Structure 1
Amino acid sequence: MDSLDHEILAYLRADARISAATLAKKLKVSRGTVCNRIKRMELNHQILGYTVRVQAEPQGQEVTAWMSIAIEGHETSRIVHALSGEPAVWALHDTNGRWDMLAELRVSNFAHLSDALERIRLIKGISATETSLHLKTVQLR
């Protein structure tokens, strides 16, 4: 996957109903290029499907985790770009201290979390990670 594939995925994550024509216009490529790349990502199982996001129920089974990420050198923008195409990543936060970045991960089960952690750890430029599970939130305000 190259940068154009990651950009296509980022747009599809934000709006899975975006048309190929709109994507082509935003990315300044032909509609055919967008269609061919999406089809290839579907065939290669990089795009597993399209879905509707609904508000989570309070008793939902979704697994949320926080992954602290250490980045080698000045690779932050490349890592952000790579993570923008990862389906499990819902948000990225720039941090200071021991870790360079905090990724919020949301998946439907622990098997999907394991798969996502494995994919993320293989990204070139990530030197270390530490993952914590989100157990509950105490609302203060």
Structure 2
Amino acid sequence: MDAVDHAILDVLRADSRTSMREVAERVGVSRSSAYDRVRRLVEGGVIRGFTIDVDPAALGLGLSAYVHVRIKQNSWKSFRARAWDLPEAAHVALVAGDFDCVLLLRARDSDHLREVVLERVQALPEVLGTQTVLVFEEHTGHS
């Protein structure tokens, strides 16, 4: 990857709907070169997909929390599958430290979050314990 590839990634990270003509103009290459470079980045696995950034609050999910989870040894794969089955799960990660996993959950309100954590996450057979951290303010690379 060279500086042009990095510049293309910056443009597409900011708005994945940017036309190839505009991408090419902004990074100083021809449109066919921009197409070829993006195709190569996709085929090489650098670009894993094109997505949208949705405001959870606009969907009625105004409360976010990181839930740190301790799980039984060798249960990551089954825990990951069960965690992704939760409609409220926005991110699931295996981490190092005092906890084994971190979930980013989106909920309507504190009652909904309580129900998800206490009645569904803690009920998973792999879970040994949790700690919930509320998110007061959140910023993505786009905000």
Same fold (TM over 0.5): yes
What is aligned with 1:115? Answer: 115
Q: After the TM superposition, which residues 46-61 of structure 1 pair with which residues of structure 2 at under 5 Å, given as runs?
A: 55-56=54-55
Give yes or no for contact 2:56–2:62 (8 Å, CA) kept in 1: no
Identity %: 16
The Cα of 1:80 is off from its aligned counterpart by: 0.5
Give the match's secondary structure for 2:129. Answer: strand
Cα distance in 2, alignment partners of residues 80 and 137 from structure 1: 24
Unaligned runs of 5+ in 1: 1-52
The Cα of 1:93 is off from its aligned counterpart by: 1.3
What is aligned with 1:63? Answer: 63
The Cα of 1:58 is off from its aligned counterpart by: 7.7
2:95 is aligned with what amino acid? T
The number of equivalent residue pairs is 89
Are residue 74 (structure 1) and residue 74 (structure 2) matched? Answer: yes
Cα distance in 2, alignment partners of residues 134 and 113 from structure 1: 12
Based on CA coordinates, which of the two structures has the bigger radius of gyration?
A: 2
The Cα of 1:136 is off from its aligned counterpart by: 1.3
Give 4+ residue runs of structure 1 displaced > 4 Å after superposition. 57-61, 138-141
Cα distance in 2, alignment partners of residues 69 and 89 from structure 1: 13
What is aligned with 1:20? Answer: none
Q: After the TM superposition, which residues 32-47 of structure 1 pair with which residues of structure 2 at under 5 Å, given as runs?
A: none
What is aligned with 1:129? Answer: 130
Unaligned runs of 5+ in 2: 1-51
The Cα of 1:135 is off from its aligned counterpart by: 0.6
Are residue 102 (structure 1) and residue 107 (structure 2) matched? Answer: no
Cα distance in 1, alignment partners of residues 70 and 134 from structure 2: 18
TM-score, with length taken from structure 1: 0.55
The Cα of 1:117 is off from its aligned counterpart by: 0.5
* Deviation string, structure 1 residues 64-104 (Cα, Å, up to 9, x no partner): 00000011110010000111111111111111011111000
* Deviation string, structure 1 residues 9-36 (Cα, Å, up to 9, x no partner): xxxxxxxxxxxxxxxxxxxxxxxxxxxx
Cα distance in 2, alignment partners of residues 139 and 54 from structure 1: 9
2:54 is aligned with what amino acid? Q
1:76 is aligned with what amino acid? W
Cα distance in 1, alignment partners of residues 101 and 95 from structure 2: 5
TM-score, with length taken from structure 2: 0.54
* Deviation string, structure 1 residues 13-63 (Cα, Å, up to 9, x no partner): xxxxxxxxxxxxxxxxxxxxxxxxxxxxxxxxxxxxxxxx98328897600
1:124 is aligned with what amino acid? P
Superposition RMSD in Å: 2.8
